[in-house]
Amino acid sequence: MGRSHPGGEDQGRLVVAGLIERARAAQARYERYSQANVDEVVSAAGWAVVKPENNRRLAELAVADTGLGNVPDKIAKNERKTMGLLRDLQGAKSVGVIAEYPELGIVEIARAAGVVAALTPSTNPGATPANKILNALKGRNAVIVAPSPKGWSTCALLLEFIHSELAKVGAPADLVQMLPAPVTKEATQELMRSADLVVATGSQANVRAAYSSGTPALGVGLGNVAVIIDDSADAADAARKIQESKCFDNATSCSSENSLVIHERIYRPMLSELQKAGGMLLDASEKAKLQAAMWRDGKLSAEVMARPVEDILKRAGLAPRAVKVHRLPESGQFIELRLDRLQQPAIEEIAQRLCRFTSQPRSRRPSTSCAASTPTRAQVTRSASIRRTMPTSCAWGSRCRRRASSSTRRTPSPTAAPTTTGSPSRCLWAAAPGAATRSPRT
């Protein structure tokens, strides 16, 4: 959340009070917008992100300021995450009566939350604020972003682009604001206390602070998944998809795998395929060196987070093996740690515990590749060609049909023109078919 405010706690409160006052005035006006006008505002804000020249500038600044990820993948992430969310929000009602259930005598009427406080991390200083802003605007809310200190300049540039587009559709600029630099702990805490809803993405400390702020909050912290690969999986296909997901933007995405649990019957073939996909299998001494470089005093070192694998190996004093390490185009390498081999009972116990959190296996995702795309503003506005499949309750006061908006799970619009941004021309999925969390076969 940043350091203490140089002017003290009182100065931080005054700054936040001014932001909240302007946000409430803008939101009171925006709340009277029709559904068509709201959708126009959302499309304008989305175009501010995916407009090719804007997207590239955001990606380049994010990498330059944070040192996390890489430019080509951030361009792809900004585009896919934003376009995917726009598809999901397109056509969803967020004004007036949004649903009726005559058999129950129930009518749902959308009501804006008011002012949303959005805490965002340094790993995705462009894509995550954009996502929160679009969702807030769809529900006729104002939003104030509290970016990480490293991501402040990227967020400031994003708001500059959004304000320019909002002016074109006559929407108040104060609908979208951010904390001024330096972002301090006091200002962030005061913002959370003063807002009507908090949406926090980032460190465990930020998420806990959001839940203890006294304001209704939704938090998403660290927790990349362990992927179970059972004996029905296509080992080569699974290895390729894991490599792509793990290396995308240097593993800054939440969908990037944390670890693999491999069924005994497919264990050796899977290791072989992982190495063919660019993995490095470390022996005990190499693992100890890597662990010492990555974990200092029991904490993950910031010097290795979201860094290229070459930098991580250099810090650990390890050299890539020319025979076993293969660099895939626009993807990179990943490091595979061989733990003690898990026997059947251990695998089954892990699988059973993980399966408690899901009622059914994850549906299989398509394995065909597709070309990334650079959208036009018209395509952003009419991007309703993909049906929404999961009705959920929108966190910002509207009932939307939304799927997960992770950039690695998005398919570009089939009507979009060929890419000119240099984005990777591939679909990236978080897990391979057959890698769902289910118990291994006996």
Residues with a catalytic annotation lie at: 254
Q: Specify whether the CB–CB gap between 199 and 118 falls below 8 A.
A: yes
Q: Specify whether the CB–CB gap between 148 and 68 falls below 8 A.
A: no
DSSP code for 428? -
> Phi and psi (nearest 5°) for 331?
-120, -55
Q: Taking the alpha carbons of 236, 294, 204, 176 in that order, is the dihedral positive or negative?
A: negative
Question: How far out from the chain centre does Cα 186 lie?
Answer: 26
Choose among 398, 405, 403, 401: nearest CA to 33.
398
Cα–Cα dist 326/188, whole Å? 44
| Pairing label, strands 279-282, 334-337 | parallel
Q: Specify whether the CB–CB gap between 16 and 187 falls below 8 A.
A: yes
Alpha helices in 139-266 (DSSP H): 152-168, 185-194, 204-211, 235-247
Residue positions counted in the chain: 442
Q: Residue 338: CA atoms inside 13 Å, Cβ hemisphere, count?
A: 16
Cα–Cα dist 389/436, whole Å? 19
Which residue(s) pair with 260 in the sheet? Answer: 227
Q: Specify whether the CB–CB gap between 133 and 146 falls below 8 A.
A: no
Q: Specify whether the CB–CB gap between 101 and 85 falls below 8 A.
A: no
